[in-house]
Amino acid sequence: GAGVSQSPSNKVTEKGKDVELRCDPISGHTALYWYRQSLGQGLEFLIYFQGNSAPDKSGLPSDRFSAERTGGSVSTLTIQRTQQEDSAVYLCASSLGLPGGLQETQYFGPGTRLLVL
């Protein structure tokens, strides 16, 4: 079946502009995660969705970052007034999200490479 897809694959923008990144998870996966990865660094957790709800927004770096998920499927990460330090790869992952039990595998999309000039 289809995996996690993300768009755009690459985005170059000017400082101060807003950008919108999209994630389409695996069908039937209720849990969705956004991460940020700077060059040569590990994964930085941004936000987690269970269905359309975001019980944990603790990783969002500032109020310029927001995310939403509609219909329990597609999610959008929006960065307002982009800064050069926002340049990174933004990764989306999804998992089954079954209640209780053990954590399931997270499946990653190909990422969006954002460059802020």
Rg over alpha carbons for the chain, rounded to the nearest Å, is 14
What's the closest the beta carbon of residue 55 comes to other proteins, in angstroms?
A: 8
Question: For residue 21, which of 105, 84, 110, 94 has the smallest C-alpha distance?
Answer: 110
91 binding other proteins? (CB under 8 A): yes
Q: Which contacts (CB < 8 Å, 24+ apart) does range 99-103 have?
A: none
**Neighbouring-strand partners of residue 76:** 22, 68
Among 9, 16, 103, 115, binds other proteins (CB under 8 A): 103
Query: What is the residue whose two structure tokens read 């060059």?
Result: 39
2 binds other proteins (CB under 8 A): no
Asked if 106 touches other proteins (CB under 8 A), the answer is yes
12 to 51: interface string for other proteins, x by CB under 8 A: -------------------x-x-------xxx-x--x-x-
Residue type at 5 in one-letter notation: S
Which residues would be at the binding site for other proteins (CB under 8 A)?
A: 31, 33, 41-43, 45, 48, 50, 56, 91, 97, 100-103, 105-111
